[in-house]
Structure 1
């Protein structure tokens, strides 16, 4: 599992490097003390996991993760516990406080590793299933697994997905909802880019249900629901709409 470390305190960074070095399945592919450096390197190195302090000398990591595209899981390691809710909404896997407890660190890394491996296996299975159904001219589907059930949903029936405090809610065409205990980022990687747009940190929308776009930053869907569009995502939404004209 490839790991990238973002920490501006040298002693703490060295300690994290030593902890990571004791875990055989971890490979540290890079580290940085500044957001500007990490912004370039993360997109080049494509790590599976990012260990990040929140407050750095040139800003906060929330700015970084809202401006780059990465499928990496994020574990925040910080001395500030007031950022916990923001971290969950961003889709962070975990939130560890300094000083770092070795046992808690190892346990969190292990849980993350198992989740990443399970996700890779699920994605492979979905790709095989999707390929099979496409050959039969059957609509693509997604498998939603929870503690209580496994549900197969046709992607055409998903109107939008909403993230809230580490959970993702699928809003379906018939008005029903499915709540999953996974972050939005995991489903973003499974939903086809030609059909779904990440228009906001907390929302992914099926483009087939977009009825109107308000330039101040809002989408009106065919079911009359309104979805916010963040400033950073406006160009993506506008580009899609312009391709229709």
Structure 2
């Protein structure tokens, strides 16, 4: 029998996972919680073989709790984090599932856990390292852009600015080249590091490394000479960024 504990603070996801696990004959759900303090007590009491844990909970990051446990237990992470964050989590867990959770993937991973007894057990040091990473996540260095003809992998630092127009985004590069991608600007706003890129206008996402001048009339001049408008509601953000350089 595989005893499972669910650490998840979204009730609809808990119910969904529960309904899937109920169909697996060798699985028994021994408890669930969305709060780390309650979960810590119950996990020690119920001694599960497997913990299904969301990474970001309302009261903290689950690594903080899991790194304190001194139990022989499997871990399976449930997360809505980006691929970049997940790829950095080399912590020896049996695996991870991204939201929305696919029922087949969950079932197959549970079977994988049931089949293994020692290979995928985690250790405290790896969890502590992962916890530190989630608090200061690695910034992606490259991005893959799919055009109509090819997929090009570029260095994020080489992007000067992005222009969104009618469901498409054009990337303007330091080399002078540009790439047209059939995805909206908001998609890339979520992928590119916010510490480096600012959405200064509905149509523009700029790389702050290439700002050359900021005019009082609300325009940015990039290092390539391009003038980019700054919307009224974004002027404070640009001003705050410039103040950090003063």
* Structure index of larger Rg: 2
Superposition TM-score, scaled by structure 1 size: 0.48
TM-score normalised over the length of structure 2: 0.47
Relative to its length, the structure with more helix (as a share) is 1
